[in-house]
Structure 1
Amino acid sequence: MYTLPQNHHIHHAASIGHHNRRHNHHVVYCAATTPMKTRPKLEPLVINTTPLITPPKSDDPSLKSTWSHRAWVATGCTTVLASLASSIVGSYDSHIWVEPILSGFVGYLFADLGSGVYHWGIDNYGDASTPLVGSQIDAFQGHHKWPWTITKRQFANNLQALARVVTFTVLPMDIIFHDQPVISGFVGMASGCIMFSQQFHAWAHGTKSKLPPLVVALQDSGVLVSRSQHGAHHRPPYNNNYCIVSGVWNNLLDENKVFEALEMVIFFKFGLRPRSWSEPDSDWTEATEDSLITTSIP
């Protein structure tokens, strides 16, 4: 149907009707006018060109160490060594050795426990916008997706964030407790293990044949977190084996459901649900190097 001006259309219909009456035919015509609809304005098609999130390649600058990273690691190591040196010198001057050694061992255990608590916290709460630790939360979630990328990070790049924290917290302690060998022993060992925990973590993702024999020996003896123990953290249900220094606390914490109890307390107190209560989706669970290579082949 097409549209004619209304008056002309009615006159045309009337003329046809008058002509038909002379031939004794009655024909009825229905005339209607349809208003023209405005054609919708088509917006230009916009295609989302945002690239898919992919793991960094081995030559990605984000995995490389910068001079700033190296400076922070050097400063952190200096503060740790200063604590240990103060403990050794103080022990020699005061002729006590057992207490500083025991305090150092307690610091080693404390570092493993602290790494587990911190790891559990950033795995389950907060996001990239969280103040102070948002970048680490985001990095750890990416680590769950592509855990093997930590083995491609250069040494200073991997340790620089913790080295900064150690520098600002341990340096004042070195000044205050320089004549306290027991305290210095604890601080030196705890801060050193905490700073190097990310390297222990990286070794736990390494291939045995590519790791230094000494590292493998320390892993097998339980001094450092083993590859098999930490590997369980990256398998369902993704809510255990959080400690990454030696892993000595993992069985105790998991068997007694310590973190599950803390999650319940936080939920009833603040209404916050941990990520471990939800089934991990494909944006969080592990993707292997082989799967990425397969999908990248046309």
Structure 2
Amino acid sequence: MKKPDTIADKVRLQDAQTLAQGYSPAIRAMEIASIIAFVGLEAALVYKLWSTHHTGPWLLTLAVVLGYLAADFVSGLVHWMGDTWGSTEMPVLGKAFIRPFREHHVDEKAITRHDFVETNGNNCLVSLPVAALAVAVPLNGPGWVFLAAFLGAMIFWVMATNQFHKWSHLDEPPALIGFLQRVHLILPPDHHRVHHTAPFNQYYCITVGWMNRPLRMIHFFPLMERLITWATGQLPRQDDIGTEAAKALVAVDDAQELPVLQAAKELLKASAEEPAPSVSTRPVP
């Protein structure tokens, strides 16, 4: 008896070698420049924070912790965008940003062979505008200091995300890294393995992974996908896993709506089916 097809059976991934060859000298030069600029901006921010009298240990600690949570969410949002939309053939973005996501699904161990520049360059590049904004914030009071520290902490953790991600794929991470993974202070391998089950449509957050369960509970990413498909007509993950699997996954997501959405649809349907109130034709005296 033939086993029924699953969505994982329909997944059609791209060639790993072809994707790896997309890492060009121009992209590497851009990543090196991004790392240098990022380090310079973060150093300037630390100097500004150190020089102001509005800082305090509790304020800075809160900024670092909230920045960590924000970075985890941002990592999931960017990861979802890179996995779900666009094509490796897009100008600039295709080779520099989308290609690494596609390669990682085909060869998840490739990241363990990347050096520091290839691992972290992209994240430094996308963090530069926020880094510049953090440095530009006027430190005229505790609120402004908190904002600058929060932004600086968030992009520091965003920069570190791919390093944490790389460590989660190592067969034998260093002892300290393994301990941090076991206590779930950085991304644990078992937690991240959920994402690497085809069709790669869950657990996108890869800084620490704390935000994965809450976002899954509220169906955050499926709802975003429906909104974008409604607005653009684009099919999620079509370039990554193939048209057949992408269509099958959309059908499954449509069948798994949040109860509140199902209830809202039923109310709208019932409202539409209610007969219109009769209008009296009796003349007014």
TM-score in terms of structure 1 length: 0.66
CA contact (8 A) 2:187 2:209 kept: yes
Alignment equivalent of 2:79, drawn from 99, 111, 119: 119
Provide the rounded CA distance (Å) in 2 between the counterparts of 1:198 and 1:98.
28
Shift of 1:112: 0.5
* Cα gap change, 1:274 to 1:254, in 2 (>3 Å): same
* Cα gap change, 1:62 to 1:148, in 2 (>3 Å): farther
Provide the rounded CA distance (Å) in 2 between the counterparts of 1:166 and 1:124.
21
Provide the rounded CA distance (Å) in 1 between the counterparts of 2:62 and 2:81.
29
Provide the rounded CA distance (Å) in 2 between the counterparts of 1:276 and 1:259.
16
Shift of 1:165: 2.9
Listed as ranges, the matches of 1:15-30 within 5 Å are: none
* Superposition RMSD in Å: 3.4
The answer to which of 195-204 and 272-281 deviates more is: 272-281
Provide the rounded CA distance (Å) in 2 between the counterparts of 1:146 and 1:216.
22
Alignment equivalent of 1:55, drawn from 10, 13, 17: 17
Mark the structure with the bigger radius of gyration: 1
Listed as ranges, the matches of 1:42-191 within 5 Å are: 53-55=15-17, 69-90=31-52, 93-94=53-54, 96-135=56-95, 136-178=97-139, 180-191=144-155
The answer to which of 126-135 and 247-256 deviates more is: 126-135
Say whether 1:242 aligns with 2:204. Answer: yes
Provide the rounded CA distance (Å) in 1 between the counterparts of 2:162 and 2:239.
26
Provide the rounded CA distance (Å) in 2 between the counterparts of 1:248 and 1:83.
27
Say whether 1:202 aligns with 2:162. Answer: no
Provide the rounded CA distance (Å) in 2 between the counterparts of 1:190 and 1:158.
18
Provide the rounded CA distance (Å) in 1 between the counterparts of 2:129 and 2:241.
38
Number of residues paired by the alignment? Answer: 228
* Cα gap change, 1:78 to 1:221, in 2 (>3 Å): farther
CA contact (8 A) 1:80 1:188 kept: yes
Alignment equivalent of 2:234, drawn from 266, 272, 275: 272
TM-score in terms of structure 2 length: 0.68
Equivalent residue for 2:274?
none
* Cα gap change, 1:261 to 1:61, in 2 (>3 Å): closer
Provide the rounded CA distance (Å) in 1 between the counterparts of 2:93 and 2:28.
21
Unaligned runs of 5+ in 2: 1-13, 247-285
Higher helix share: 2
Provide the rounded CA distance (Å) in 1 between the counterparts of 2:240 and 2:129.
36
Equivalent residue for 2:191?
229
CA contact (8 A) 2:102 2:240 kept: no
Counterpart amino acid of 1:142? Answer: E
* Cα gap change, 1:229 to 1:95, in 2 (>3 Å): closer
* Cα gap change, 1:111 to 1:168, in 2 (>3 Å): same
Shift of 1:53: 4.2
* Cα gap change, 1:236 to 1:200, in 2 (>3 Å): same
* Cα gap change, 1:212 to 1:177, in 2 (>3 Å): farther
Provide the rounded CA distance (Å) in 2 between the counterparts of 1:216 and 1:276.
35
CA contact (8 A) 1:103 1:182 kept: yes
* Cα gap change, 1:164 to 1:279, in 2 (>3 Å): closer
SS of residue matched to 2:90: coil
Shift of 1:159: 1.1
Shift of 1:132: 5.0
Could you give the per-residue CA deviations for residues 190-243 of structure 1, whole angstroms, max 9, x where no partner exists? 011111211111111111xx3122211221122211111111111134211100
Shift of 1:79: 1.8
Unaligned runs of 5+ in 1: 1-51, 285-298
Percent identity over paired residues: 24
The answer to which of 116-125 and 70-79 deviates more is: 70-79
Shift of 1:134: 1.9
Shift of 1:104: 2.2
* Cα gap change, 1:169 to 1:279, in 2 (>3 Å): closer
Could you give the per-residue CA deviations for residues 12-32 of structure 1, whole angstroms, max 9, x where no partner exists? xxxxxxxxxxxxxxxxxxxxx
